[in-house]
């Protein structure tokens, strides 16, 4: 039986939005901003894929998950964390600790970063906490990175 899937995203600088768009294309489902998803739209969904950026260790979709905990009960949730940290250094279990429903699947997606394009607050944070990133611009978001997420969603195995 085909699952009803919704992809929702929260993105400041575009990487999570691009991943959400690629997923929606491949899964033939909508991709919408997580803040815009109304309870009635969520009601008919079996699988919710959330794609959000990680900023100072915090996942952009986390607060929405907490607020909507009752609406998410009984649904399959797939969390995609998008960030700059090299995959081998990422602690997915720690990220999953951010208010995700138990049993949610979690995946890491490499994101782009461009210091020059950051908003003032984010520039300030980077100046304070990550001086190594001053002036840095890297492009890491790539559709191919979604292979494990698609394999999981299409039932070919739960690679995390």
Ligand X SMILES: Cc1cc2nc3c(=O)[nH]c(=O)nc-3n(C[C@H](O)[C@H](O)[C@H](O)COP(=O)(O)O)c2cc1C
Residue numbers at the binding site for ligand X (CB under 6 A): 11-16, 53-57, 82-85, 111-113, 118, 122, 125-126
Question: Looking at beta carbons only, is 100 or 126 nearer to ligand X?
Answer: 126
Question: Looking at beta carbons only, is 61 or 71 nearer to ligand X?
Answer: 61
Q: Which residue of the chain is nearest ligand X when measured via CB?
A: 111
Question: Looking at beta carbons only, is 66 or 139 nearer to ligand X?
Answer: 139
Alpha-carbon gap, residue 125 to 137, rounded angstroms: 16
Among candidate residues 90, 108, 91, the one with its CA nearest the CA of residue 52? 108
Token readout for 101 is: 């429903």
* Helix (H/G/I), strand (E/B), else coil: 117: helix
Question: Looking at beta carbons only, is 59 or 71 nearer to ligand X?
Answer: 59
Closest separation in Å from C-beta 46 to ligand X:
25
Closest separation in Å from C-beta 10 to ligand X:
7
Closest separation in Å from C-beta 119 to ligand X:
8
Closest separation in Å from C-beta 4 to ligand X:
25
Contacts 24+ apart (CB under 8 A), 17-24: 17/51, 18/141, 19/51, 19/80, 19/82, 19/109, 19/141, 19/145, 19/146, 20/49, 20/51, 22/143, 22/146, 23/49, 23/51, 23/146, 23/149, 23/150
Question: Looking at beta carbons only, is 46 or 97 nearer to ligand X?
Answer: 97
Closest separation in Å from C-beta 157 to ligand X:
25
Alpha-carbon gap, residue 146 to 160, rounded angstroms: 11
């Amino acid at each position: 039986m085909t699952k009803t899937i919704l992809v929702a995203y929260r993105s400041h600088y575009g990487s999570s939005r691009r991943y959400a768009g690629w997923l929606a294309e491949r899964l033939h489902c909508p991709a919408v901003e997580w803040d815009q998803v109304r309870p009635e739209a969520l009601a008919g969904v079996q699988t919710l894929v959330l794609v959000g950026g990680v900023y100072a260790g915090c996942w952009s979709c986390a607060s929405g998950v907490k607020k909507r905990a009752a609406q998410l009960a009984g649904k399959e949730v797939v969390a995609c964390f998008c960030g700059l940290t090299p995959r081998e250094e990422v602690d997915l279990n720690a990220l999953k600790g951010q208010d995700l429903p138990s049993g949610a699947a979690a995946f890491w997606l490499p994101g782009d970063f461009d210091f020059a394009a950051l908003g003032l607050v984010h520039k300030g944070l980077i100046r304070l906490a990550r001086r190594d990133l001053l002036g840095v611009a890297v492009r890491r978001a790539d559709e191919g990175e979604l292979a494990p997420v698609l394999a999981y969603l299409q039932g070919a195995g739960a690679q995390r």
